Structure 1
Amino acid sequence: MIIAFSVAPSGTPTDAPAGTGDAASVHNAVAAAVKVVRDSGLPNHTGSMFTEIEGEWDEVMDVVKRATEAVGRYGSRVSLVLKADIRPGFTGELTGKVERLETALDANG
């Protein structure tokens, strides 16, 4: 499955890590979430609005949970937007879908 998610803090920070400058900064909170994703070892891609991660249901949802918890340190609330493409038996779709799109675009000139 592929999960696309966006997570952001709001409210007053509870225990943001020391040395992060402006503790309420969204980019620092997002960096903490993306670090969790990248450290997971699962295929992933981060864009300007969403991070995508591919794997099995339990492992992907565990990473999303840990990324959300990491962001939670930067505010008293967390907003999570999640979209899933659940397609059992398929892997490599994080890049495969884009490759098929580019092929179709090339074929249709």
Structure 2
Amino acid sequence: MLAELQFVTVGSGEEQKELIAKTVDIIEKSELDYQLTAMGTLVEGDWEEIMTLVSKCQAVLLKESDRVISDISIDDRKGESNRLRGKVLEIEYALGRGLQTAGLT
């Protein structure tokens, strides 16, 4: 399963980057395969792993702010793994060249 996670806090005294850094730290410690992007974080894992991760991120953000808006997009495909890197490699193969992928490949 691939998931794109985006969190926005409302009513906190801290800048967004400081709070998002806390969620990225949680994601990194989860040991799931992930890729930070400018607009969110892509994560690969099973349903339970991803929902546990979302819950942990929400809890940390709610300690620091009055409101958390979470946008979660999920692509769940049976029997598939390593899709985070695999999907990028498929496009690079189709183009016949490497792409700028923020360290994904």
**TM norm structure 2:** 0.86
The CA deviation at 1:106 is 1.7
Spell out, residue by residue over 1:47-89, the C-alpha distance to the aligned partner (whole angstroms, 9 max, x if none).
1111011111111111111112212222100011110110121
Query: Equivalent of 1:96, from 68, 86, 98?
Result: 86
- For 1:20-35, list aligned pairs within 5 A: 23-35=13-25
Q: Does 1:75 align with 2:70?
A: no
Match of 1:10?
10
Identity %: 27
Count the aligned residue pairs: 97
The CA distance in 1 between the partners of 2:17 and 2:94, in whole Å, is: 35
- For 1:26-65, list aligned pairs within 5 A: 26-65=16-55
Spell out, residue by residue over 1:24-65, the C-alpha distance to the aligned partner (whole angstroms, 9 max, x if none).
210010001111100000101101111011111111111111
Q: Which runs of 5+ in 1 are unaligned?
A: 14-22
**TM norm structure 1:** 0.83
Moved over 3 A (4+): none
Superposed CA RMSD in Å reads 1.3
